Amino acid sequence: MDNPAICKACGALMAFVQTSAGKTMPVNFSTLTEAEKIILRRGEALNYNKEYHISHFATCPAASNFRKAKK
Ligand SMILES: [Zn+2]
């Protein structure tokens, strides 16, 4: 998996983080701290921080396409 990755729907840069439930979710790359971007560049896992990480699904302008596109 690429991390950071490009959203296929809108082309935005997003980073995958681990939630406390052990799941992976994409957050907007711009909401990462500088320290977190460095961690990501080293290929290490990042933990989701609900204080400032914003789920890309919440802001993606093409989010409604995800369901429609599913076959
Ligand atoms: Zn998007």
> Across all residues in the chain, what is the average pLDDT?
91
State in Å: Cα 37 to ligand 1 middle: 19
Torsion of CA 44, 50, 52, 57, to 10 degrees: 80
pLDDT tens by residue, 35-66: 999 999 999 999 999 999 999 999 999 877 65
40 belongs to a structural domain: yes
**Ligand 1 is an ion; residues with CB less than 5 A from it:** 7, 9-10, 12, 60
The 10 Å Cβ neighbour count of residue 29 is 19
State in Å: Cα 49 to ligand 1 middle: 20
13 belongs to a structural domain: yes
Peptide bond into 26 cis (omega under 30): no
The answer, yes or no, to whether residue 67 has pLDDT greater than 90, is no
Q: Return the pLDDT at 64.
A: 74
In sequence order, the 6+-apart residues with CB closer than 8 A to the CB of 58 are none
This prediction has a pTM of 0.84
The total number of structural domains that make up the chain: 1
Q: 17: domain range?
A: 5-64
58 belongs to a structural domain: yes
70 belongs to a structural domain: no
69 belongs to a structural domain: no
